[in-house]
Amino acid sequence: MELLGKRIVLGVTGGIAAYKAAELVRLLGKQGAEMQVAMTEGATHFVTATTFQALSGKPVYLDQWDARMPNAMAHIDLSRQADLILVAPASADFLARIAHGLADDLLATMVLARDCPLLVAPAMNRQMWEHPATRRNAAQLVADGVTLFGPAAGEQACGEVGLGRMLEPEALCEAVIGFFQPKVLAGRRIVMTAGPTFEAIDPVRGITNSSSGKMAYGLARACEQAGAEVTLVSGPVAVAVPAGCTRVSVKSALEMREAVFAALPGADVFIGVAAVADYRPVNSAEHKIKKSGAEMSITLTPNPDILADVAGLPNPPFCVGFAAESRNLDEYAEGKRKAKKLSLIVGNLVQDGLGGDDNEV
């Protein structure tokens, strides 16, 4: 319920992406937002007002002369009650009208009369988005303080491929949640490791652990929403990359170390969340080792300590470590912090949720 108590007006304009706005209403409402929908006449050709009324639990506003509001001033009353107005999809026509201050329907009038932030998610054919007039209108809106989400690139309803798709509802929901977060990390670059490493014994077997990556990915999401530029150097996990974060995929500890140092220049903070294997096989078999009745031994060699190597640089970033222990948490975590010369360490007991959806630190 990250949007609990927030009042959001969703404006829907004419375009095939209007059907996605229905899912967006559901997702934002699920996060606790109080939703009010206003549609342009063009939007009603793609989705009915009944759909949005059912999902939002409120009547949908279509007409600037709607008498349901006191004094028949829906354009003022709706916008002044809102914490933000989000227009998704925002057509090329709508961008042009609000860039020039037109107020020829309820939604455009509401945008002009607002005293809350305006967010728009453009959606149109790629050539319409690339047209100089649209680019000028988009630039003017940004200069006026409007936040643009997208558009995304991909296959479009017309069959063409390129920029112009509306961001998916899940991405827009994340963007709205992030919009409300204080930008305490604005201008900061953060490099973070995530997940387990996989140290190959042969092409199909290896040494790894039960780290899911969920802790690191949740932390990356929070840092990005706080305004940071986040690079995730991640071992093999099945977790979606948080919106706005850059993921660099690796497998072994050696690959992770190389990727970390490649991403490190200019970083303000380094957070070592990954559960890096302490050891790796000295030799990895080129082909799958066949099963036999004989005993087999594997010689292991220590992996590099990525966190200690970063903290030991002449001018290191602010270094944060993680200590996952099964006992004596305070003692072992503080010992690790001192030994690696870290600015901060986060400790947790593995029995409190390693690999799960919930954890305690």
* pLDDT tens digits along 300-328: 999 999 999 999 999 999 999 988 888 88
Mean pLDDT of 189-194: 96
Residue 115 burial (10 A CB sphere; 0-12, 13-18, 19+): exposed
Mean pLDDT of 32-55: 93
State the average pLDDT for the chain.
90
Mean pLDDT of 146-161: 83
- The per-residue pLDDT for 278 is 92
| Alpha-carbon distance values, 190 to 267, 272, 349 (Å) | 6, 11, 25
Tell me the longest C-alpha to C-alpha distance in the chain: 89
* Residue 140 pLDDT greater than 90, yes or no: yes
Mean pLDDT of 4-30: 94
The Cα 249–Cα 229 span in angstroms is 17
* Residue 355 pLDDT greater than 70, yes or no: no
Which tokens go with 38? Answer: 């206003």
The Cα 18–Cα 87 span in angstroms is 10
> pLDDT digits over 225-274, tens only?
999 999 999 999 999 899 889 999 999 999 999 999 999 999 999 999 99
pTM of the model: 0.80
Catalytic sites, residue numbers? 158
Which has more confidence, 340 or 76?
340
- The per-residue pLDDT for 191 is 97
* Residue 164 pLDDT greater than 90, yes or no: no
